[in-house]
């Protein structure tokens, strides 16, 4: 994982008032709950007393109570009530649970996976998707590291093969470019796949300057945007579970149909087709080896893999900036 980053990890409505939710994210067991004001709190799902799971406890106003001995922890992680010590007992300040900063943006719950208690900036979604869009959504578990899932959605050369009977119909196997531009932590990608007419693929610097919006966008560390048209979009949050598992949080957005019943039918159809396409990918990606990727892992990156290479380069740059020691996965 890349440290010092905001990760989208849950849909907002997966954490409701009065009910703690335990999940594994970024290799750690976490518990999410809401205060009486609706603020989302993320804690390590482990009572520091003798190791009970806090996600089995209950929310009591602005605290989460351990199911084992009733110890209560507030939104800062500090124990504020220790029943065995009585109402006026002196609670040790060391009795505290690790807490991660949270934010809610675009109906996602995000956590700051880093060193700073106060993150430098809030998380950012995709500005071009406004409130006039409606959307449907789906989730899929993939038994791979989230980097494999992300790279699959940046891979423009697989369409005519994995998706030959869906979005890859037409046999456009030759990949000109692609053209990739990196703006801060945002990758913009223009795709120029075509039929094989006997001419070699053009390199990125041989392509004309783009005159339209990018076809794909990726915002580090884990959200992706397929800009199909001004009125139709698909987004994915590649949610890390651990080094060998991730969850795809997919959304189909549209704004061309606004009649309520027809809008729901269009959204349902978009969700169904998006899941179908994702299932085609999952069959292949679930069997890739190693399960995670890295810049220096020895795979033979081709010209058509420019987006994947850019992703790996920038991911390594962010890891090094966070002071992480990166050990490439073994291909044995």
Stated pTM of the model: 0.95
The verdict on 154 and 292 lying in the same domain is: yes
The verdict on 225 and 273 lying in the same domain is: yes
Cβ proximity of 269 and 287 under 8 Å:
no
Q: Show the beta-strand stretches assigned E in 94-229.
A: 99-100, 102-105, 108-113, 134-142, 174-183, 186-194, 216-219, 223-227
Is 63 within the bounds of a domain? Answer: yes
The verdict on 76 and 148 lying in the same domain is: no
Cβ proximity of 103 and 1 under 8 Å:
no
Is 127 within the bounds of a domain? Answer: no
CATH of the domain at 255: 3.90.380.10
Q: Domain of residue 66: give its range.
A: 5-113
Checking if the pLDDT of 75 tops 80, the result is yes
The verdict on 89 and 143 lying in the same domain is: no
Is 124 within the bounds of a domain? Answer: no
Q: What is the mean pLDDT of residues 257-279?
A: 97
The verdict on 44 and 149 lying in the same domain is: no
The verdict on 10 and 138 lying in the same domain is: no
Angle at CA of residue 138, ends 281 and 226, nearest 5° = 60
- Of all residues in the chain, the percent with pLDDT exceeding 70 is 100
Write down the pLDDT at residue 116. Answer: 72
CATH of the domain at 49: 2.102.10.10
Across the chain, what does the average pLDDT equal?
Answer: 96
Question: Measured on CA atoms in the order 44, 49, 54, 56, is the torsion positive or negative?
Answer: positive
Number of domains the chain is built from = 2
Taking only the tens place, the pLDDT of each residue in 50-68 is 999 999 999 998 999 999 9
């Amino acid at each position: 994982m890349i440290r010092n980053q905001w990760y989208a990890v849950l849909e907002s409505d997966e954490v409701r008032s009065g009910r703690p939710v335990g999940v594994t994210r970024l290799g750690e067991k976490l518990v999410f709950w809401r205060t009486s004001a609706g603020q989302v709190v993320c804690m390590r799902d482990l009572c520091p007393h003798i190791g009970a799971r806090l996600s089995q406890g209950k929310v009591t106003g602005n605290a989460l109570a351990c199911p084992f001995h009733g110890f209560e922890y507030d939104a800062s992680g500090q124990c504020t009530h220790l029943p065995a010590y009585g109402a006026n007992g002196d609670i040790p300040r060391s009795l505290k649970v690790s807490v991660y900063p949270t934010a809610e943006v675009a109906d996602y719950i995000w956590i700051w996976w880093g060193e700073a208690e106060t993150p430098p900036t809030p998380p950012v979604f995709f500005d071009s998707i406004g409130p006039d869009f409606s959307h449907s959504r789906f989730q899929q578990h993939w038994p791979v590291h989230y980097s494999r899932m992300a790279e699959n959605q940046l891979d423009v050369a697989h369409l005519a093969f994995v998706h030959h009977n869906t979005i890859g119909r037409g046999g456009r196997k030759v990949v000109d470019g692609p053209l990739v531009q990196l703006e801060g932590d945002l990758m913009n990608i223009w795709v120029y796949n075509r039929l094989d007419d006997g001419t070699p693929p053009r390199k990125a610097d041989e392509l004309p300057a783009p005159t339209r919006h990018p076809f794909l966008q990726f915002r580090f560390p884990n959200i992706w945007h397929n800009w199909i048209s001004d009125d139709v979009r698909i987004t994915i949050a590649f949610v890390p579970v651990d080094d060998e598992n991730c969850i795809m949080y997919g959304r189909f957005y549209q704004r061309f149909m606004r009649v309520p019943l027809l809008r729901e039918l269009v959204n349902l159809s978009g969700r169904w087709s998006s899941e179908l396409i994702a299932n085609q990918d999952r069959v292949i990606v679930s069997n890739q080896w190693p399960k995670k990727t890295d810049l220096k892992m020895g795979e033979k990156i081709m010209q058509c893999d420019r987006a994947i290479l850019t992703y790996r380069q920038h991911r390594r740059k962010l890891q090094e900036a966070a002071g992480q020691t990166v050990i490439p996965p073994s291909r044995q």
